[in-house]
Structure 1
Amino acid sequence: MKGYSTAVSGMHTCNPPSSVLDEWLQGHYSGKENFGHLLLEQNEIDRAAISQSLREYFESAHLDARQVFHADIGIDLHPDVDDSTEAFIEYPGCLPRTTRKGLFGEVMAGLVTEGYELVGGHQWCVPIFLFRHHEDARNYLFALARNPERKRQTIGRLGSDFIGLLLNEEGAVVRFIAGEAKWRKTLTKSVVDAVIYGKKVDGPTRGTKVHSGKGVWNELNNDPPVPIGVRQLMRLLQEHDPVGYDMAIFSMEQALVLQNPKPLPRTDLIIFVGNGTAKREKMECLLPFEEMPEDYTAGHDLQLVEVILKDGEELIDTLYESLWSDGDGNA
């Protein structure tokens, strides 16, 4: 039955498949006390087998948004309902290919955060992903269900791509990690620099080009200490499990009040995911890996991640077309 899940809510309940990650990606970590760099390079693997092994994690990550968007569309996910409509619209499978690649990068941010040791050695928890706040995807699916010919590209979701939490023994939040995920078909130095420093614009001298400065560094350096993604996550926990996460909710609320907020330590994560170039050398890095970058002035712990794939687009297609299917690609 398409879209049906036995899960009580849309909470993210799937642990990262550690053995699959070891088979799929070879990791190289470097860093210091408040800075880390992780390079993950794809091994030679069976694409279909890896996508099938990642499927449960990705379904868990998208479940909350799937339930919300399908309810907006008017699709009943109960297993006893006949869903053999002539043109069935579902999330996230029927989103444009470009959108799915962006979603893949965001799920990878959570997968890396939960599956690898990052700067600080913290045991991160990602209780739920923020995909329901992708308003343009919601609008796209609502319209598409009523007019299947109305296909278009979508714009991305604003704010942090994901939020993870570090909980103490009482369940209170003592630190959070805010992630920015960037998928690019081919990762080169110029591509990465355009994301980090902003696209190139006309320079002060005629015929010259310089980076605009409106890239990721600028966004992170000017982001509020506790971004709106923390509020979004707090609201989701209030909706799905207010008792189980009561201390986490309370501690996030203390950090979000306008008057005398309680400081909440933060770790920033930037993850690039994409294919390496044909001439790329093994263990070649496109991001700083020895020292904290001078351009990052936000003052938080910083983790940089590069995930270098060999057939990324094909993997994403195989994976997203398998979600909520019977394993043979049939929904």
Structure 2
Amino acid sequence: MIRSRRVTLQPLNAWLVPQPLTSVNSKYELRVWREVNANFGALRDELVAYAQEALDDARSRIRKGFEDHLSPFSDRVDDPAVHYPAMLNRITLQGYLGETLAGLAVEHFGALGEKDWHVPAFLFRFHDQEFQHLDLINERIIMGESHDPDAEAEKRPGRTGDDALAFQLDGEGKITHVLALEAKCLAVSNSAIIADAHGKLAAGTRRPSGIRELINLLSDYENNEAQAWVARLLELYRDGFKTVKRSDGLAYTVGNSPIKPKTRLSWLQADAPHASYTVDRQLDAMEFQLTELKVLVDTLYRGA
């Protein structure tokens, strides 16, 4: 599925307010946004729609083979995706939020000094552990058994591989730049997670694994735009990665701000990447400080 939804910039900028930071590192930039809760209402419906569209491909995969095209899921019990993602554990939903914010930021705020980035699809369909978990959840609910989505036993491992990929195109529609995105979303900042995120990006190859996954995903859709993306991604996968420039992006979403904001505006380092980022590539770091993270997760994914 090719995504098309965007949100209106004015309410987005009023909700996520950029903080004043300067950097003299030519290969590293940190940008920080802080949530202004009072301004969320004007953006709420658009952001819910954006987050839900990001999951539509995963829903399609869950439903594949189950749908009667003459009468699609007239009974909610027959819909294998009816409880996706609301009944999944909060940690999984935070992960979905982190990846979605990564794509949203690149599409709306730009990256590496450029605005025209494209995220053709998110990769949520490859979270197989949660799809297996969803079958168990659906069975419990059908049988009238209780289900506490946030119980410790309901946690599942996160999806491996690239969290998201963004691309720049030239005038002929060919891919010229790839931005590999690593996303983390935590209730409380964690220095070990920050180090791990930088290390994962450093270990990334010139041909990100998410390119193959995007080709598999978009091949399921027969519309012209999806097939155009398949063609350009195949060209990139086969040989283009040798010349197309890969850069990295880190999206760090956290539910708390530094205690002394006058002396420290961010959890991520302002002037240079973490020491675990050991490659010589451009890195765009983005930090989102959301004081109402729990409420936001419930709003976007549980209909609160």
User: What TM-score comes out, normalization by structure 2 length?
Assistant: 0.84
Query: How many corresponding residue pairs?
Result: 291
Residue 18 (structure 2) aligns with: 27
In the aligned structure 2, how far is the partner of 1:78 from the partner of 1:24? Answer: 43
Alpha-carbon deviation of 1:84?
4.3
CA offsets per residue over residues 219-277 of structure 1, 9 Å max, x none?
Answer: 222222112101111222333256435554344323323x7963321121111112125
In the aligned structure 2, how far is the partner of 1:136 from the partner of 1:253? Answer: 27
In the aligned structure 2, how far is the partner of 1:260 from the partner of 1:164? Answer: 15
Compared with structure 1, are the counterparts of its residues 160 and 87 closer, same or farther at alpha carbon in structure 2 (3 Å cutoff)? closer
In the aligned structure 1, how far is the partner of 2:34 from the partner of 2:245? Answer: 30
> Does 2:92 align with 1:99?
yes
Residue 254 (structure 1) aligns with: 235
Given that residues 173 and 248 in structure 1 are in contact (C-alpha distance below 8 angstroms), is that contact kept between their aligned partners in structure 2? no
Residue 293 (structure 2) aligns with: 312
In the alignment, structure 1 segments of 5+ residues that lack a partner are 1-9, 198-214, 323-328
CA offsets per residue over residues 183-202 of structure 1, 9 Å max, x none?
Answer: 11022xxx1x20133xxxxx
> Does 2:260 align with 1:269?
no
Alpha-carbon deviation of 1:310?
1.2
In the aligned structure 1, how far is the partner of 2:272 from the partner of 2:252? Answer: 18
Residue 170 (structure 1) aligns with: 172
Alpha-carbon deviation of 1:56?
1.3
Amino acid in the other structure paired with 1:240: Y
CA offsets per residue over residues 265-320 of structure 1, 9 Å max, x none?
Answer: 11211111121258342661121222455542322210111100111111111221
Compared with structure 1, are the counterparts of its residues 83 and 49 closer, same or farther at alpha carbon in structure 2 (3 Å cutoff)? farther
RMSD: 2.8
Of 85, 107, 118 in structure 2, the residue corresponding to residue 114 of structure 1 is: 107
Q: Which moved more, 1:266-275 or 1:149-158?
A: 149-158
Q: Which moved more, 1:295-304 or 1:142-151?
A: 142-151
Compared with structure 1, are the counterparts of its residues 157 and 16 closer, same or farther at alpha carbon in structure 2 (3 Å cutoff)? same
> Does 2:221 align with 1:229?
no
Residue 121 (structure 2) aligns with: 128
Aligned residue runs from structure 1 range 52-63, under 5 A: 52-63=45-56
Of 11, 19, 23 in structure 1, the residue corresponding to residue 2 of structure 2 is: 11
Alpha-carbon deviation of 1:167?
1.3
Compared with structure 1, are the counterparts of its residues 234 and 27 closer, same or farther at alpha carbon in structure 2 (3 Å cutoff)? same
Alpha-carbon deviation of 1:179?
0.8
Given that residues 254 and 262 in structure 1 are in contact (C-alpha distance below 8 angstroms), is that contact kept between their aligned partners in structure 2? no
Given that residues 61 and 128 in structure 1 are in contact (C-alpha distance below 8 angstroms), is that contact kept between their aligned partners in structure 2? yes
SS in 1 for 2:266: coil
Residue 82 (structure 1) aligns with: 74
Percent identity over the alignment is 24
Given that residues 51 and 315 in structure 1 are in contact (C-alpha distance below 8 angstroms), is that contact kept between their aligned partners in structure 2? no
Aligned residue runs from structure 1 range 163-202, under 5 A: 163-187=165-189, 191=190, 193-197=191-195
In the aligned structure 2, how far is the partner of 1:58 from the partner of 1:262? Answer: 33
Alpha-carbon deviation of 1:81?
4.3
Given that residues 167 and 174 in structure 1 are in contact (C-alpha distance below 8 angstroms), is that contact kept between their aligned partners in structure 2? yes
Compared with structure 1, are the counterparts of its residues 262 and 70 closer, same or farther at alpha carbon in structure 2 (3 Å cutoff)? same
Given that residues 47 and 315 in structure 1 are in contact (C-alpha distance below 8 angstroms), is that contact kept between their aligned partners in structure 2? no
In the aligned structure 2, how far is the partner of 1:171 from the partner of 1:78? Answer: 38
In the alignment, structure 2 segments of 5+ residues that lack a partner are none
Given that residues 11 and 42 in structure 2 are in contact (C-alpha distance below 8 angstroms), is that contact kept between their aligned partners in structure 1? no
Alpha-carbon deviation of 1:50?
3.9
Amino acid in the other structure paired with 1:252: L
Alpha-carbon deviation of 1:11?
2.4
Residue 162 (structure 2) aligns with: 160
> Does 2:298 align with 1:300?
no
In the aligned structure 2, how far is the partner of 1:53 from the partner of 1:242? Answer: 25
SS in 1 for 2:220: helix
Compared with structure 1, are the counterparts of its residues 11 and 246 closer, same or farther at alpha carbon in structure 2 (3 Å cutoff)? closer
Alpha-carbon deviation of 1:156?
0.8
Amino acid in the other structure paired with 2:186: R
Given that residues 48 and 300 in structure 2 are in contact (C-alpha distance below 8 angstroms), is that contact kept between their aligned partners in structure 1? yes
In the aligned structure 2, how far is the partner of 1:247 from the partner of 1:170? Answer: 12
